[in-house]
Chain A
Amino acid sequence: MDNDSPTSGDAEIVGQVVAGDVHAFEHLLRKYQNHVLILLKKHLPYDHIEETAQDVFIRAYKSLPTFRGESSFKQWLSTIAVRACYDFWRKHYKSRELPMSSLTEKNQVWLEEAISAQASQSFHEQSLQKEAREILDWALDRLSAADRMVLELVYLEGYSLRETADLLGWSIANVKVRSFRSRKKLHKLLTQAIPR
């Protein structure tokens, strides 16, 4: 999470929009479009980013009257964006067929090398990130929507349990338990994928 400078300007713009100045919303859109995009790029497949970004700002616009300024506008918008990602995965997982394909031989070899004794800093720097991304996507696709979101936020992005709980609207205890379980599942998935 970032520590924003006081965003009284945002609160003023929100006030203008709620008072009926629809065009003032464009200031908020321009100011925070990159922040929302960066967030969505990490959580969603490439071809769904633009559509979800639109959805996030439309949801934010509709919810503006409920914005009380208790947190910064950026934080409030992040919450909407993260919940939009969670909704996306929930819908996606409901409609998808169970993925049965295993890792390719190339990916298996890469993964084995990555976690073997030979793994070192140089390996991280030199190795192709494409393989790592493929393996990560493969593993995440085998988790539930909730496990996926918690794992991404806590394990991969480094958010605290409280921040994650705020973003997802869950209790801290729920995030803690789910974070532990999803990490175990991920580790199990990846270690089982390597032929030993």
Chain B
Amino acid sequence: MNSPKTEHEVLQAILRKAYQEKENVEVGDQWQQEVMRRVRELGTLQPTPTFPEMLEQLVWRLAPVTCLLIFGLTVLFAVSDFTSGYEVFQLFMNGTEELTFALFAGL
């Protein structure tokens, strides 16, 4: 028996030869027509968009969503009486000041 290294090399040589032989198999020539038929079916290709084009597409895609969001927030503020909420806040702040001053003055 050969040394493992020689054994390995011999085996590799044999297997390589067997592997190379595989390319001699005959294959039919009808498949090319099928490829062209499918290519015609697929039609013309759409070129890959560049980065600015992709950005532009994204902006336009988001535009309706942004408009809807602005509209929705406007309606929400109009309905929820934003002004009176602000006044309550002011009253609370003023009230605290008065209370603090009253306590400080001992009244």
Contacts and interface: CB of A to CB of B under 8 A. Distances in A.
Contact of B22 (A30, A50, A51, A133): A133
Contacts of A22: 39-40, 43-44
A84 interface: no
A22 B41 CA distance: 10
Interface residues of A, number: 46
A1 interface: no
A26 B32 CA distance: 9
B31 A132 contact: no
Contacts of A152: 19
B69 interface: no
A18 interface: yes
Interface of A: 17-18, 20, 22, 25-26, 29-30, 33, 37-38, 41-42, 46, 49-51, 53-54, 57-58, 61-62, 64-66, 114-117, 119, 124, 127, 129, 132-133, 135-136, 152, 155-158, 187, 190-191
Given A37-B27, A49-B27, A51-B31, 13 more contacts: A18-B47, A20-B44, A41-B22, A41-B27, A58-B38, A62-B42, A65-B46, A133-B21, A136-B19, A156-B15, A156-B19, A158-B16, A187-B8
22 contacts: A20-B44, A20-B45, A22-B39, A22-B40, A22-B43, A29-B35, A30-B32, A42-B19, A42-B20, A58-B38, A61-B39, A62-B45, A66-B48, A115-B7, A124-B13, A133-B18, A133-B21, A133-B22, A136-B15, A136-B18, A156-B16, A187-B8
